[in-house]
Amino acid sequence: MRIFFLSFFSFLFSVFLGAILPSAGYAARATVPAVKSGHALVVDQSSGEILFEKGADEVTAIASITKLMTAMVLIDSGLPLLETITITKADVDRFKGSKSKLRVGTQLLRAEALKLALMASENRAASALATSFPGGKEAFVEAMNQKASSLLMSDTIFVDATGLRPGNVSTASNLAKLVDAASQYPLIRQYSTAKLFDLKAKRGKRNVNLRYVNSNRLIKNSRWKISVSKTGYISESGKCLVMKTEIAGRPIVMVLLDSWGKLTRLGDANRVKKWLENRSSYKPKT
């Protein structure tokens, strides 16, 4: 009986505290999200306020997040986007052995290759953008590193245009700068968030029709407002996702790196979204 009364009074006391301390409920909601990615950063783009971070300054491989820099360098170069380029043997991935729908000899517009690289993370498309650059791949990578330096991405190194090489490294903090810069390019916003793309290309005299879908499933989710998106994966980087999005009326840059499991990075993104929405909706009583 004594134990019953002690438990009952403990319950009443907790209810009393909840009534007089409404902020206690908020504190529970305001605890940091259970992000499972190895490295993460969430920033309010308008103010620069860091809302959440986890290992944000640790250098790690970044896989195809690299392609955001590839896109900026290409657009900055002023090369004609409606010019036809060709997939060559030099664009075949012999390092990781990744597959591609774009066979050697396929001809497509430079703009189409850019769109495929951004929305579908097409490696041969990204490689072809570098191969067809004046001075070739070496000059393109040099331009990538110069651009990174101009953005004060001091912990970032690029060694190829696709991200397949683990030598492409950065930090979540540096990649937030990359996403912020990429969001200033209308073409990157448009291409990286396209849901699908039906490519009509040529291979010799034959017409080729290929369908691509966005590598980020959240693009098709009506609950998300995403203006820049890029995914990435190699074994050295784990699964990666960077986005510029709007959450609770705020422009948010989200970087999630070194995630494992098929859906973990998407789960992390949704956990961050819910956490920010709960934080922003709370209004303390006066």
Per the document, the length of the chain is 286
Residue 167 structure tokens = 């030598």
User: E strands of the chain, at which residues?
Assistant: 39-44, 50-54, 60-61, 84-86, 106-109, 169-170, 196-203, 206-213, 226-234, 238-247, 250-259
Within 13 Å and on the Cβ side, how many CA atoms surround 151? Answer: 25
Inter-helix orientation angle 136-150/66-77, to 10°: 100
| Contact of 273 with 285, CB cutoff 8 Å | no
Cα–Cα distance for residue pair 238/226, rounded to 1 Å:
22
Q: Are 122 and 213 in contact (CB under 8 A)?
A: no
Which residues have a catalytic role annotated? 64, 67, 121
